[in-house]
Amino acid sequence: MTSEQIKEHLKQVKYPGFSRDIVSFGLVRSAALVDGTAKVSLAITTSDPKVPLHLKKEVDHCLRALPGVKDTIIDVAVTATRAPATPANQPGATAAGARTIRHAVAIGSGKGGVGKSTFAVNLACALAQLLAAQGRPGRVGLMDCDIYGPSVPLMMGLDGRPEIEGEGADAMLVPMERHGVKVMSMGFLVDDDTPVVWRGPMIMKTVQQFVQNVKWGELDVLLVDLPPGTGDAQLSLVQTLPLDGAIIVTTPQPAATNVARKGGLMFQKVNVPLLGVAENMSYFLDPAGGQHEVFGSGGGIITAEKLGTTLLGRVPLITAIREGGDAGRPVVVQAPDSAAGQTFRTIADALLHRLAQPVPPRM
């Protein structure tokens, strides 16, 4: 029996809590059958001690069902998701492997169109403003991993291609800088006209390379704008990145809470702590006066409660936010003292406080 045949058989073993199998996740390093003994080695990234034990048991069970297998040797190499120092091949690592990004925070949503990128862009600018005021300019990064529709370059008013430093395996992408934020986006690397027909494993490989080869320098916060949804691509990405926390963006319709909750559960399953929920398009701020809850109300707080986290803030639905995004000048830059600008600054402030607190222990 060949290695490929054994791997094909191991596709029956799902990663705990997910519908996807360990082979397509790329966790099976080697597989062989020697004199009736099936030898398999796995490499996984988790800080949950139950996961390697569970996988070992499942793989053993699966292998013993194969004809000719009398015994098994299963080796599981575990890398903790939250190592004290970031490995050298992770974002923000120096050549010596020391971590230069203090906090990497994902911005996710259960589905598209909730304003996740708008939120990420404004939050990044607001964080940059607050940190600059504390004497820490240039310490915020924004990484746009939305391969399906990267909108961060437009929203940040950035065009062109990032410079590359070094050559071959040492080549590093230099982030572009605008509004005090260092930005890297898949949008810088794919042509507008190129149809983005990516399959799961390709996304994983591309984004991994993309993430590992960015010269961020020293950052206090790196925000990672994820592709919308909770599918395999998002899950792979979340497992690949050394995240310190995640924020879920949702809209106020109570009906949106189920899908937003799925987004939150995805992070919890891979032991990324939730830092809070942000509700976008919460109410229409009528220029003639008054507020109208056009999309209903309660979605943000319900989602936060269901996920056991806090509501970081409610962002109004206003033309200035859309216009700021289209013009490459986010509302928090264009009109920092407007209601929307202040909301983003309050959320940024809350996030900085949250990040300064000790991280709750992982499951």
Ligand X SMILES: Nc1ncnc2c1ncn2[C@@H]1O[C@H](COP(=O)(O)OP(=O)(O)OP(=O)(O)O)[C@@H](O)[C@H]1O
| Positions that interact with ligand X (CB under 6 A) | 109, 112-118, 146, 149, 151, 228, 280-281, 315, 317-318, 321-322, 325
Burial of 193 (0-12, 13-18, 19+ CB in 10 A): exposed
CA 236, CA 238: separation in Å to the nearest integer?
6
Residue 205 C-beta: closest distance to ligand X, Å:
22
The string of DSSP letters for 267-309 reads: HHHTTPPEEEEEE-S-SEE-TTS-EE-TT-S-HHHHHHHHHT-
Is 264 labelled a binding residue? no
Residue 199 C-beta: closest distance to ligand X, Å:
19
Nearest residue (CB) to ligand X, 97 versus 113:
113
Residue 28 C-beta: closest distance to ligand X, Å:
32
Nearest residue (CB) to ligand X, 30 versus 291:
291
Is 276 labelled a binding residue? no
Here the contacts of 161-167 (C-beta below 8 Å, separation 24 or greater) are 161/188, 161/189, 162/188, 165/215
Nearest residue (CB) to ligand X, 115 versus 153:
115
Nearest residue (CB) to ligand X, 22 versus 347:
347
Is 111 labelled a binding residue? yes
Q: Which of 187, 183, 94 is nearest to 141 (CA)?
A: 183
Residue 206 C-beta: closest distance to ligand X, Å:
17
The string of DSSP letters for 173-236 reads: EPPEEETTEEEEEGGGTS-TTS-----HHHHHHHHHHHHHTB---SEEEEEEEPPSSSSHHHHH
Nearest residue (CB) to ligand X, 86 versus 338:
338
CA 161 vs CA 127, 181, 183, 194, 202: distances in Å: 25, 16, 11, 15, 22
Nearest residue (CB) to ligand X, 92 versus 300:
300
Residue 47 C-beta: closest distance to ligand X, Å:
28
Is 115 labelled a binding residue? yes
Is 19 labelled a binding residue? no
Residue 144 C-beta: closest distance to ligand X, Å:
10
Is 211 labelled a binding residue? no
Is 7 labelled a binding residue? no
The residue at minimum Cβ distance from ligand X is: 112
* Binding site residue list: 110-117
* Binding site residue list for ATP: 110-117
